[in-house]
Amino acid sequence: MSALVSNSTSPSSSSTTSTSIRVERPFAIDGLFWRRVAQRLACSSPSWFARWAPPVIGAAIALLLAGPRRAFVKRLAQARGPKSAVRDVLDACRAFGNFASCITEVLSAGSKNAAAPVATIDSHPDADRVLASNGGIIFATAHTAGWESLGGLLTRQHRKSVMIVMRRERSEEARKLHDAIREAEGGVRIVHVEGDPLASLPLVRHLRNGGVVAVQIDRVPVGMCRRVVRLFGAPGAVPEGPLRLAQLTGAPIVPVFSARTGHRRYEVHLRAPISVARRADAEAIDEAAQRLADTLGDFVSAHPTQWFAFGE
């Protein structure tokens, strides 16, 4: 994010401005070509293929790509402790398979293979009260199975407008394609924040109008403002942005995490809201940051193969 929020944003919805020039690599694994191939398969393949092939393909990728698998296992071990080599490979296959299934379910939007996701919600009573209020809310989420569906699942019945704050992808064209699908499928607005502190102003305005801003707290890229915490029993960090945004607007932070339990079926967990006073000092902000880290750590430790720890 920017100095205020985490991950990314710009003053407009899915558009972003940047002073750097990005060279598109047509056949990069995260580029437009393969994204379109995945979308075509998700939309046009037989329904049985769209349901059962992704976990097999994801597991195959985990087995074939030793580098990404080892990097994932290293982070996984931090979350659930060291296990045997066989268990590490099996868990990596499960996680890569979950990821492939989630991507397929998003990319199939608007096709014969699309269907509304079904969620079982485990919610803290205080989180329910916040959702039922007219005020703004900050969702603190993570790269877990089904996170892209959270905005629509949790706020549709409360008629709240949702902004999902994300980092900008390396491929601008792939980003535009995926953002358009996310917005059409989930009824959300995707916002990408760059380095300009003023880019956070639309988020402040959105919260003050009673909207929801969702940010991911499990990755803190180089150059992003952070708060040092204990995560998985070791030194770690969470983005400072959502904490400062809560301090500036008075909006509570509601930790929200999800797990995939079956084809288009999810389990969503809402934890107790975290407040940051407008005049909170550094100690109070650090305390709120640690509460955020604790909720993330508890969820990931209980659902390690639902965490897509593939990035930095």
Look at residue 279 and tell me whether its pLDDT is greater than 90. yes
For residues 185-210, give the mean pLDDT. Answer: 76
Rounded to a whole number, what is the distance in angstroms from the first to the last CA of the chain? 14
User: Residue 89 corresponds to which amino acid?
Assistant: V
Q: Which pLDDT does position 299 carry in this prediction?
A: 96
Look at residue 153 and tell me whether its pLDDT is greater than 80. no
Beta carbons within 10 angstroms of residue 299's beta carbon: 24
Alpha carbons 239 and 59: distance in angstroms, whole number: 31
φ and ψ at residue 257, rounded to 5 degrees: -135, 155
Look at residue 302 and tell me whether its pLDDT is greater than 50. yes
Alpha carbons 237 and 222: distance in angstroms, whole number: 11
Closest to 143 in 3D by CA, of 219, 194, 226, 243: 219
User: If pLDDT is split at 50, 70 and 90, which confidence band does 8 have?
Assistant: very low
Average pLDDT across the chain, whole number: 83
Q: Which pLDDT does position 185 carry in this prediction?
A: 63
Are the beta carbons of 115 and 42 closer than 8 angstroms? no
Q: Which pLDDT does position 21 carry in this prediction?
A: 45
Instruction: Look at the block and give the residue holding tokens 């990931």.
Output: 300
Look at residue 13 and tell me whether its pLDDT is greater than 70. no
Strand partners, 237: 228
Q: What percent of the chain has pLDDT over 70?
A: 81
Pair of tokens at residue 194: 């760059």
Q: Which pLDDT does position 5 carry in this prediction?
A: 40
Question: In this structure, which long-range contacts are made by residues 88-96, counting pairs with CB atoms below 8 Å and at least 24 apart in sequence?
Answer: 89/62, 89/63, 91/304, 91/305, 92/62, 93/58, 93/59, 93/62, 93/63, 94/59, 94/305, 95/62, 95/304, 95/305, 95/306, 95/307, 95/308, 95/309, 96/58, 96/59, 96/61, 96/62, 96/69, 96/72
Provide the pairing of β-strand 265-270 with 118-123. Answer: parallel
- Position with higher pLDDT, 147 vs 231: 231
Kindly list the distances between the CA atom of residue 297 and the CA atoms of 123, 138, 215, 255, in Å, as whole numbers in the listed order.
Answer: 17, 19, 16, 11
Look at residue 114 and tell me whether its pLDDT is greater than 60. yes
Closest to 145 in 3D by CA, of 222, 254, 53, 54: 54
Residue 241: which residues within 8 A CB-CB, separation 6 or more? 1, 2, 3, 4, 5, 6, 7, 200, 215, 224, 225
Q: What percent of the chain has pLDDT over 90?
A: 54
pTM comes to 0.84
Strand partners, 259: 267
Q: Which pLDDT does position 162 carry in this prediction?
A: 86
Closest to 276 in 3D by CA, of 262, 257, 291: 291
Look at residue 236 and tell me whether its pLDDT is greater than 70. yes
Alpha carbons 172 and 159: distance in angstroms, whole number: 31
Alpha carbons 26 and 305: distance in angstroms, whole number: 31
Alpha carbons 175 and 14: distance in angstroms, whole number: 9
Look at residue 16 and tell me whether its pLDDT is greater than 50. no
